[in-house]
């Protein structure tokens, strides 16, 4: 399957980047084609709610920023993986912007399965992110293959790596 991973931590060698790499490695070992994008390095603005996309734009967003690079990747993906650090009890802003900019096309055309990878410092801070993720899977009518979380003492560990490998087996 064609897998797109959106990784949203600005820390290139951080915990979320590690989780995304582990997912990529496991998926490639299983024969999938994987594209890993660091959305925190892209200039993606929030949705303007101008409704141009649902009118004259005919599905195209009026804002011409780095989201133009992501739209075709989103359109071709069979599996979408969101990888984000927890910022203030939820997914970070860098990943919210591209998700919300999908408003122009409503949903990624081919995506059938999704997964969520999240890292944090503290335990028990995932309910907001997981709730949003579950709701998006429902709204887009895609299979929710699950969530792997990693708090401080679970980061870059063999146990977390194994959980990520189990997630990949659900594809």
Ligand X SMILES: Cc1cc2nc3c(=O)[nH]c(=O)nc-3n(C[C@H](O)[C@H](O)[C@H](O)COP(=O)(O)O)c2cc1C
Distances, alpha carbon 38 to alpha carbons 1, 5, 84, in Å: 20, 8, 10
Tell me how far, at minimum, the Cβ of 14 lies from ligand X, in Å.
2
Query: What is the rounded distance in angstroms from the CA atom of residue 144 to the CA atom of residue 96?
Result: 18
Burial class (CB in 10 A: 0-12, 13-18, 19+), 98: buried
| In the complex, minimum distance from the CB of residue 19 to ligand X, in angstroms, rounded to a whole number | 8
Q: Which of 125, 140, 143, 154 binds ligand X (CB under 6 A)?
A: 125
Using CB under 6 A as the binding rule, whether residue 146 contacts ligand X is answered as no
What is the spatial distance between Cα 54 and Cα 65, in angstroms, rounded to a whole number?
18
Tell which positions 46-85 bind ligand X, by CB under 6 A: 85
Region of 26-34, 61-69, 121-129, 131-139 interacting with ligand X (CB under 6 A): 121-129
Report residue 5 CA to chain centroid gap.
6
By CB under 6 A, name the one of 4, 6, 15, 23 that touches ligand X.
15
Q: Which residues bind ligand X (CB under 6 A)?
A: 9, 11, 14-17, 85-89, 119-122, 125
């Amino acid at each position: 399957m064609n897998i797109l991973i959106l990784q949203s931590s600005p820390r290139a060698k951080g915990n979320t980047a590690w989780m995304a790499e582990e997912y990529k490695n496991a998926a490639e070992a299983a024969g999938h084609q994987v594209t890993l994008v660091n959305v925190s390095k892209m200039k993606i603005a929030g949705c303007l709610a101008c409704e141009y996309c649902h009118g004259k734009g005919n599905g195209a967003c009026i804002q011409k920023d780095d989201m133009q690079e992501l739209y075709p990747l989103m359109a071709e993906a069979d599996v979408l993986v969101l990888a984000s650090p927890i910022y203030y009890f939820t997914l970070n802003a860098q990943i919210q912007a591209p998700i919300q900019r999908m408003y122009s096309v409503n949903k990624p055309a081919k995506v059938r399965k999704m997964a969520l990878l999240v890292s944090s410092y503290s335990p028990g801070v995932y309910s907001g992110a997981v709730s949003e993720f579950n709701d998006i899977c429902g709204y887009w009518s895609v299979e929710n293959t699950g969530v792997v979380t990693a708090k401080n003492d679970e980061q870059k560990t063999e146990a977390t790596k194994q959980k990520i490998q189990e997630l990949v087996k659900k594809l």
